[in-house]
Amino acid sequence: MAATAFEDSRFCSRCHQFDDDGFRLNGKLLQDTYGEWLASPQAQAGQTCQSCHMPGRRHTWKGIHDPDTVQQAIELGHSQVAAGGDSTAVEIRIANVGAGHHLPTYVTPKLFVKVEWLGSDESGDEVWDVVRVIGREVVLSGSESREVFDTRIPAGGEWVWRTATAGKVTGLRLAVDVHPDHFYLGFFEAYDRDHLDGVTASMIETAEGHVRSSPYRLVEHEITLEN
């Protein structure tokens, strides 16, 4: 007979929640996923961690690496807003409607929101004019530990970015790229491999390869603007 404890979010907290006296940066626990869930609309509605990550008791562990799961977690919107002179301005909104914790939770993943302004002379090349990051950037090293920024979206919350360009444009291209293992990439790039044996070096290279191959484009839209 299945134990009901396995369907309780507290079961997940042993690996996804630091103790209250645990390591903090800028006053916030480094790992606070269970605490984020406790404050979420999903928790109030009776949804557990397992509701999304183990639907039907299946050991799928769907999360940030799965585009469909992330797609269901966000709601993307935009609107053209007033701008002075010949400028064009747009407000981009991303709401966390489906993740029962911060989006993304923890410090490992990041979402990159990209805008390319389109005019009569666009080249079609993928050259993004402006990029913003949704995530928690931290420095963890022997010499210092600090939080650089935290732009994550709480459960039920919204991230808003107002961006503008000089002159008139016909539209914009908007994309959201997900880097599930972004923090680990910096770790591997800084890793000293000079004294590793062949087997260990091969394992590190394989792990880095997985990290480099994990990013994916979640959404891309071309939007026509009013002149």
For residue 57, the model assigns a pLDDT of 87
Q: Where are the domains of the chain?
A: 66-224
DSSP per-residue string spanning the chain? ---GGGGSHHHHHHHHB--TTS-EETTEES-BHHHHHHTSHHHHTT--HHHHHSGGG-----STT-HHHHHHHEEEEEEEE--STT-EEEEEEEEE-S-SS-BS-SSS-EEEEEEEEE-TT---S---SEEEEEEEEEEE-SS-EEEEEE--B-TT-EEEEEEEESS--SEEEEEEEEETTHHHHHHHHH---TT--HHHHHHHHHHHHHHHH--EEEEEEEEE---
User: Which residue shows structure tokens 């996804």?
Assistant: 16
66-224 CATH: 2.60.40
pLDDT tens series, the chain, 227 aa: 467 888 899 999 999 999 999 999 999 999 999 999 999 999 999 999 999 999 888 898 899 999 999 999 999 999 988 877 788 899 999 999 999 999 999 999 999 999 999 985 555 555 678 999 999 999 988 788 999 999 999 999 999 999 998 877 889 999 999 999 999 998 888 888 889 999 999 999 999 999 999 999 999 999 998 77
For residue 41, the model assigns a pLDDT of 96
Tell me which amino acid residue 56 is.
Answer: G
For residue 1, the model assigns a pLDDT of 47
